[in-house]
Structures are given as structure tokens and as C-alpha cells.
Amino acid sequence: MDCVGCGEPKARPDKPHTFFAHEYVNCPGCGERGEARIVLRSGQVWELLRCARCGPVERLHHADAGAYVSSFLERGEAAVSAGGEHLFKRTTSVCPGCLRLLEVDVVIRAGKVYFRKSCPSCGPSEALVSEDARYYVRAYSFARAGTEPLHYSQEAEHGCPTDCGVCDEHEQHTCLPIIEVTDHCNLECPICIVNNQYSTHMSLDDFHSIIDGMVRREGTCESVALSGGEPTSHPQILELIRIAGRSEIGRVVVITNGLRLGRDRAFAEAIKESGAYIALQLDGFTADTHEKIRGRDLVADKDAALRVLKELNIPTQLVFVATRGANEHQIGQAVDLFLREDHILSLNFQPAAFTGFGGGKYPGDPMDRLTIPGVIQRVEEQTGGRLKKSDFFPLPCSHPQCVSLTYLMRLEDGSYLPFARFVDFTRFGTLLRSSATLPANAEIHEALHDVIHDVFARGGEIERGPEVLAALRGLLLQMFPDRPLTSREQVRIGEGRAKSIFLHHYMDRHDFDLERLRKCCHHYPQADGRVMPACGFNMFHRGAAKGPDTAVAQFARPAANGAGRSLPVVQGA
Amino acid sequence: MSGGLLQGRVALVTGGSRGLGRAICKVLAREGAAVAFNYVKSEKQAQDAVRELRESGTRAWAFAASVLDKSAIDAMVGTVEQEAGPIDVLVNNAGVGQVVPLALMEESDWDGMMDTHVKGAFLVTQSVLRGMIRLKRGRILNVSSLAGVKMLQAPVHYCAAKAALKGFTEGLAKEIGRYGITVNCIAPGILEEGVSANVPPANREEYLRHCALRRLGTVDEIAEVVAFLVSDRNGYMNGATVVVDGGV
């Protein structure tokens, strides 16, 4: 599956296999135990192991991929139904105390999923991984082949995560590059997942080099995100946007807390003029929620930012860090705002990750936290069923445990209907993409035709069937006119017709899963040419997994400003 | 009837009360299909046809509905699906003949010819297709003409309409092949009855001079080919136009 359509599918080939999971196996050469990639290839299941002694080794794991996947899912479903505690599988996580890599049990207990860890130095620990074990198990059925970049940054040598940057054993290309253009910020958020040092604004030369590198590796990108720190504190932010706005890049997104936008009208107008999109951090609507998550009352600042974004009709994405005990009761309000405003194109819920400068010290309980199913549950409860749990599906582009999403189609009367009400995503997985909107590419064209015929055939069984067909007709005619569209036009047209809600759960030292990192597609490009999967960078390279001054892994190569001491890493336990 | 080419299938034939359409209904029924057809003017012939089909042991229905009346078509298709089950076979046979040179052709002549053959096929197909996609199988056969695929002395609007059906066949075959539905086209030469009855004697003689079999075809001969084309025995033919003309 070509997950983003940022570029021609033929230019970026699919992986020759579907990455399914990690599993501990013994090396067929030396017998040493290690974690292998389990991949589905040509109807069979293969182990791809990088043995410390023997190097890369392949071995047939199961002769029938379909039977293997069915058995895997049935095992999980049985564990959910049986009650009690059951071992579902094993994976690699880290000790929350010393950050040592550990082989851990993934157990299902009372309808939830936990990691059960045992660190030789720090002792046993547990962490909640999913509030809905059935969702967790079924998500594996959404595994799809990843896509390769045109060029990898480096070759695999020691294995994951040591070779991060990314190597050719990574299972997904860069769907969303997030470029941290500054480590300055005008807030000190208690939930901040990065590590602001107040030392560096990225130079134009470095930024040029990163953009050039992304285009060389990816061909084209649907989106490039500028982050920080607070990117609007970069003195040349408008110049950075201009540099990123080249034809190979569909949209430039500035991820911001919105303070400068709300206070500086001329700057907001310049952003509008630049054509950039705004991803506005908006985690609540009251003083107390802001204080808990962002450190102070931001109601007036957020209102000002929202007002100017609306007045100037700047395409906007909302980013809501959903945190247990802080703002979970305002999730529905965020959905209402998103559905009400035409210029708000997507809503991204991020269950809080306890990592980084602020988040690493945040007093969250790793056994009682929000995960993706928990946020979806609250969406349903707080929107009075306008959106339902069944509207959301795991995104197969990344690891299916990382992201869940729903697309909403605009009907002719201006209301929105979730695609899941008329699309069976288990059949039309192509429509599940990492993009906030649907681009007008050949892949989507084909998928839309399938959907149209399916809706047409099911007729009266579908909620608002005739309206859906009318909207699909409008979508098709507008997205695929009788003239070629530029990639930017494709993006814009898709935005006018469909919105999306994403739930993206970044990982921390409690729920880190190397298997998920393997297929990460949200990457931090570095000036030295590396492209770092986000959670691996946060965990091992930033030196902030437990707050500022956390030791970095011994293999880590932090960004230029990231100091830190080395941390011993043990593969397996 | 057991062991026929269309045992247990449900077929809808447009323009089935007389001529080629009636012959097609008869052969499809003989091969085991339940048969429904529509008609516009020939009420008595339609009743005769239904009686004939039922007497042969076939379930049969006739509907007074124009192929240009969308709501009537939808009602017809709904009734057939309710009473007989999902429609497996559609034969777009309804047509008209009119011998008039281009110089004398009225705009209404052109529209009438194109509407009946092309728009009618579109409307009926769209109505039937819903069930076929749901079923993930189906056979659609469009009745074109040799005049639509070869240069013949025939009215221009008739040639154009029949040629359009060939394009309709190919486009639709490509579009819905993924659902296991095949769409083909049959192009008969001049027949002894049906629309061919309008062919002027001089044109008929010209045709016979070029036909290797030295005779006109019969509606029964075409109907036999139709029965095979819409059967499961014909699984891999799609988007094709089969010419049945005695060798011209």
C-alpha cells in the first residue's frame, strides 16, 4: 500500500513484504535469542532476524500466512473473552527506570492490555498499553506493506533502534517529516515532549539541506511540518516556509501554540500570504485545563488565535493532547469546534505521552492513562453519538497500534458524515491513509470507484444513501476533472470535500514498543542527513525521556544542541 | 427443465414481446431461466408471450414499461427481484427501426433512435446493475447490429445508435468487470423478421449478394447464440462484440 500518495506510487515501491509483528526467536545459526521481524511474503510467514553474531538471517516461520494471522487474532480474541490474565505475545520495550531495552510480556487482563516488564537492575514494573484489548488485537488485521523511500539514510548494521536514521530495515518511508526549526519556546508546558534548550534557531542553510534531502529521499511529500520549540519564535520563519514551499511539497504546516498568531495580526496575515497551514495546539477550553497541560491560562490566547485563523480563513488543523484527569472531559467540545468551522480541516488527538522536557516528569499514572480506544470512547460519549466508536479504524500506514482515524465527507447540505458509515474499511483499506485529507491521485481514484459502486449497490441500506452518492459524485467530478492538476491543487480540492480526525499515540518509557517504532512514519529529519522516527528520537536520542538531563542511549547521536551522558543498552533480557 | 444453460437464473429482456426479443425470451426460458420482459405498445403480443412461456413451465412476467421511463424501470426491476430473486442476466434488446435518409431526418427522429437504443440501455442497466454488484456476478448482453460495426446501407441514426451500444459495452465491461459481471454485445446481420423487416428490398438483395450463406438469419438462430453468451459456460468473454451474420 502506498500510504500517502506524496509522489507517484511507482517512484516509491512497496516493501516486498508486509511487516506484521516482532517475535523472539532463536538464531538458526548460533542459537542466540533475538527479536525478529515477522513478515508476510508470498503467502508465507518469514522471520527476518539480525543476529549479533551471524548477521541478517531469514527463516520460514509458517507456511501459510492466512492461517498464521487468523491463529494470531483468534489467540488474542480468546484471551480477551476468557477473563483472567493471558500472555498474548512478547515484544521489546524499555525499563521505565533505567531505559534499558527489555524483552517484555504483552498480557491481556480484564479487557485491557499491559506490558509486564522485569528489569535486572530496577525490578518488575507494569504499564497500561491499551484500554481496549479487543481493539488492540484486531488492529493487527490492518497490517499492510509499507513503502520504501527512494533512498535510505543509512544501511542496517546493528539493528533496530541502534541504526536509527532510518535504515533499510525500517518498514515505512517518511509520511510526515517534522522539522524542528528552533529549540526556543514561549511556553514551558508540563506535557512538552521535546527538550527545549533555548540555544539554537536552525540556519537557513541547514533547513535548505533538510528540505533537499527530503525531496531526494522521498521524491515528493504531501506535507512537511515545521515544529520546535515554538516555530513562530524563529526569526526567519516566513523564509523557512518559503523555502519549504517548493513544488514537490504539497503543504507546509506550522505546528504552533498560536500565541504569536493571536497577538501579531501582521504576522498572521503574512502566514496567510505564505500559503502555510497552521496546526494549532488546542488542548482545552478552560483555564484549569490549560494550566494543567500548558502551565498557565491560555483561554484568551487560544481564542485570539482561533479568531484570526477564522477571519483570515487559514487552513487549520487542531492538535489536542488528551490527558487523563486534565482535559478528557473537553474532547467533545474540540470535535464540535472542528465540525463547525470549514477552515478547520483536521483534528488530531494525541493521548499524552510522558516523555520529554515536561512530559518526562508529568505526574501521569502509567497504569491509568488515556490510550487511543479511551479517547474514541470519549468522542462517542461527548458528541452524543454523532461520531461513534465504529467510525474509527487503525491506520495501516504506520503500525496499526500508533494511529486511528476517521474521515468525514462533506455532504451537499454542509454537514459531515463519517466515511465508515458507507465505506467498509476492512475492504477499502486504500482509503485509510496517513494524510489529513484525500489527495486526487490514481490510488484514491480507483478506491473511490470501488466505494461508489459499493454504495450504489447497497442503496437503501446506507445511512443517507442518496446524499452520500450525490456527494461522492461531486467529489469525483471535482477531484478528477478533465485536466491535469498540480499536486497542490489535488491537496486543496480534497480538503474541501473531506475532513479527518486522527488519534496518534506517541510512546514513552512506559508503553514504548520497538515493534511500533519499526514502522513509524512520522520522522524528524536532521541536518546531518538522518531521518529519526519520532518516538525513537524522543526515547533514546533527545536525553529527555524522563525529563531534562535524562541520559541518552550509548548509540544515540543527538541533534547538535542535545548534550547528554551515555546509557548502557542491553538487547533482550 | 433441468440441466439447461441457465438453470436457476433470472433474466430480464427488454422489448421481449415480439421479434428477436420474444425469441430470446423463449430460448432463455427453455434453458432454465425465469424470464421477465417489458413492452410498450404490443399488449396482446406480450400477453401471448407470457402465456407461451408459462405453458412451457417457466416463471414469466411482462411489464408495460418504456425503457425511457426511469421510475417504471426501477419498479419493474424491484418487482422482478422481489418475485424471482436477483437478476442474473440482462439483455438490452429494445430497439426501433426507421428507414430515412439523413437529408430528411428530423431532429426528433435522431433523438428517438438514440434514446430507445442507447439511453434505454443505460437506464435499464443502471437499475439492474445495483443487484448484480451486490451479487458479484451477472451477464449483460447488448443487442447491436452489423450496421453498428460494418459499413452497410442503413439509416445513419440506426448505425450510430448501434455503434454506440458497442462503445457502451466496452466501457461498461471495463468498469464493472471487477465485480464478476461480464458485458458483451451481439451484432446480428439482417434477419427475416423483427427490425430487419424494414430493410428495403434492394438493400436486402445487396446483403444477400455478400453473405456467404446466401440467406437471411432467423431470430431463433440469434437467440441460441444469446443463450450461450449469457450463460456461465461463457465465463471469460468480456467487452466483446460477436458478429452473427452468415459471413458477410
How close A452 comes to chain B (CA, Å)? 11
A118: pLDDT strictly greater than 60: yes
Give B178's contacts in chain A (Cβ within 8 Å): 450
What is the bridge-based pairing of β-strands B89-92 and B10-13? Answer: parallel
Edge-to-edge strand ranges of the sheet holding A33-41: A18-26, A33-41, A44-51, A55-62
From the list B134, B176, B179, the residue facing A458 with the nearest CB is B134
Q: Which three cell numbers stand for residue B2?
A: 433441468
pLDDT at B1 over 80: no
Read off φ and ψ for residue A297, nearest 5 degrees: -70, 120
CB contact under 8 A, B133 and A456: yes
**Model confidence band, residue B203 (pLDDT cutoffs 50, 70, 90):** confident
The pLDDT value recorded for residue B28 is: 98
Disruptive mutation site among B81, B129, B134 for chain A (greatest number of A CBs within 10 Å): B134
**Whole-number pLDDT of residue A561:** 44
Per-residue confidence (pLDDT) for residue A444, from 0 to 100: 78
Give pLDDT, residue A573: 31
Q: pLDDT digits over A17-54, tens only?
A: 999 999 999 999 999 999 999 999 999 999 999 998 99
Active-site residue, B236 included = no
Q: Assign A355 to helix, strand or coil.
A: coil
pLDDT band at A211 (very low <50, low <70, confident <90, very high): very high
Crossing angle for the helix pair A331-340 and A372-382, to the nearest 10 degrees: 70
Q: How far is CA A285 from CA A326, A421, B173, in A?
A: 11, 30, 55
CB B175 to CB A456 under 8 A? no
pTM higher than 0.90: no
- Three cell numbers written together for B36: 421477465
Instruction: Give the tens place of pLDDT for each residue, A341-352.
Output: 999 999 999 999
CA–CA separation, A509 and A98 (whole Å): 9
- Nearest-neighbour CA in chain B from A441: distance (Å): 18
Per DSSP, A471 falls in state H
Residue written as cell 474499511? Answer: A425
- Number of cross-chain residue pairs from A and B with Cβ atoms under 8 Å apart: 16
Least confident interval from A155-159, A222-226, A272-276, A553-557: A553-557
pLDDT at A563 > cutoff 60: no
Which alpha helices (H) appear in A94-161, and where do they start and end? 133-139
Nearest partner of B210 among B189, B184, B230, judged by Cα: B189
CA distance B184 to B142: 6
CB atoms within 10 A of CB A551: 17
Cα A537 to Cα A558: distance, rounded to the nearest angstrom? 8
Q: Is the pLDDT of residue A565 over 80?
A: no
Omega cis (within 30) before A96: no
Q: What is the DSSP letter of A538?
A: I
pLDDT digits (tens, 9 = 90+) for A321-334: 999 999 999 999 99
- Asked whether residue A250 carries a pLDDT value surpassing 60, the answer given is yes
Does the structure show a pLDDT above 70 at B84? yes
Residue with grid cell 490549560, as numbered in its chain = A290
Q: What ipTM did this prediction achieve? A: 0.82
pLDDT at residue A186 tops 80: yes
A457 vs B176: CB contact, 8 Å cut-off? no
**Distance of residue A468 Cα from the nearest chain B Cα, in angstroms:** 15
Whether pLDDT at A483 is above 90: no
Which residue in B158, B179, B207, B236 is the catalytic one?
A: B158
- A445 within 8 A of A451, measured Cβ to Cβ: no
Alpha helix ranges (H) inside A361-431: 372-382
- Taking the alpha carbons at both ends of chain B, their separation in whole angstroms is 36
User: What's the Cα-to-Cα distance from A355 to each of A358, A506, A543, rounded to whole Å?
Assistant: 7, 9, 10
**A355 near A321, Cβ under 8 Å?**
no
Question: What are phi and psi for residue A96, nearest 5 degrees?
Answer: -70, -15
**Residue A554: per-residue pLDDT:** 74
Determine the average pLDDT of the residues in A531-542. Answer: 91
Question: SS3 for A233-246, per residue?
Answer: HCCCHHHHHHHHCC
Q: How confident is the model at residue A491 (pLDDT cuts 50, 70, 90)?
A: confident
Condensed to tens digits (0 to 9), the pLDDT of residues B28-38 reads 999 999 999 99
